[in-house]
């Protein structure tokens, strides 16, 4: 069979892995007992009093993250679901956009850490329109080294429906744009109970869970019959760099996937 040349949609495995490994907790525990850093490892929905309701809604969010679906797709899935979820449209919109952006942000952080030798600076980049928060407008364009302590409290997204992202820069790019000096850093704290922190502050357990899930998802997508070279290289890089300790039998799984692709290319 001839090798396929169809485009392969490389899923954002780091983002999906983060989203799938957060603990579902009830709102009282999430808002009243957990620290901002602990909340980064968990998820809850105010107004839903049953764990199964929260799991159901977040499962639908994660389905859209995996498939690249829209808010309209998510809203329809909630309406058509077997579990009654009585939340208004604006609440569903907040849940969807906050969690999708949060997963993308954490996924980017994992990718940026992989490549920080080549791109050792981060720049906070916001959407400069009428909906941008004043505090986020002040933070927009700040450039600091990727491991600078400033990012422990100001990594985007760091508020409900925050649209800001973190861009990685080379040393030359950072110098051309102008690295923000320490004396010019604004004294602004994260809003809405967010920590603004990075996954580096999470527990070792959370990091291992995410890494293991990255490996599992990567192997799943690696085995898809329409994988092309660029996609395989992207996934192999994620496996190689992200896993400090490979999951059991990972090497054998990769070999099996390669054999499948080689057979399909013959």
pLDDT tens-digit profile of 5-42? 333 344 677 788 788 878 888 888 888 888 777 777 78
- Across 66-75, 165-174, 240-249, least confident range: 240-249
- pTM assigned to the model: 0.72
Residue 101 to residue 15: CA distance in whole angstroms: 9
Read off the pLDDT of each residue in 195-210 and give the average, rounded to a whole number: 66
Q: What is the pLDDT of residues 36-51, one digit of tens each?
A: 777 777 888 888 888 8
Give phi and psi for 36, each to the nearest 5. Answer: -55, -40
- Across 48-52, 100-104, 191-195, least confident range: 191-195
Read off the pLDDT of each residue in 242-263 and give the average, rounded to a whole number: 57
Q: How much is the pLDDT for 248? A: 52
Share of the chain above pLDDT 90, in %: 33
pLDDT band with cut points at 50, 70 and 90 for residue 202 = low
pLDDT at residue 172 greater than cutoff 90: yes
Q: What count of other Cβ atoms lies within 10 Å of the Cβ of residue 28?
A: 11
Q: How much is the pLDDT for 256? A: 64
pLDDT at residue 225 greater than cutoff 60: no
């Amino acid at each position: 069979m001839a090798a396929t040349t169809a485009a392969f949609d490389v899923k954002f495995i780091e983002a999906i892995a983060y989203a799938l490994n957060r603990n579902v907790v009830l709102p009282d525990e999430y808002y009243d007992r957990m620290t901002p850093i602990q909340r980064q490892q968990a998820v809850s929905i105010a107004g839903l009093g049953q764990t199964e309701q929260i799991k159901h809604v977040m499962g639908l969010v994660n389905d859209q993250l995996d498939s690249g679906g829209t808010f309209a797709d998510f809203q329809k899935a909630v309406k058509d679901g077997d579990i009654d979820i009585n939340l208004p449209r604006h609440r569903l919109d907040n849940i969807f956009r906050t969690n999708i952006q949060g997963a993308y942000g954490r996924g980017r952080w994992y990718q940026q850490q992989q490549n920080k030798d080549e791109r050792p600076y981060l720049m906070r980049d916001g959407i400069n329109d009428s909906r941008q928060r004043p505090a986020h407008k002040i933070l927009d364009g700040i450039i600091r080294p990727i491991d600078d302590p400033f990012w422990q409290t100001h990594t985007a997204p760091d508020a409900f429906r925050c649209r800001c992202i973190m861009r990685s820069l080379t040393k030359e790019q950072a110098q051309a744009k102008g690295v923000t000096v320490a004396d010019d850093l604004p004294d602004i704290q994260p809003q809405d109970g967010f920590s603004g922190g990075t996954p580096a502050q999470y527990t070792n357990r959370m990091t291992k869970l995410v890494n293991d899930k990255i490996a599992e998802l990567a192997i799943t997508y690696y085995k898809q019959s329409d994988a092309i070279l660029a996609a395989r290289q992207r996934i192999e890089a994620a496996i190689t760099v992200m896993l400090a300790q490979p999951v059991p039998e990972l090497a054998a799984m990769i070999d099996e996937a390669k054999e499948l692709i080689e057979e399909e290319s013959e």
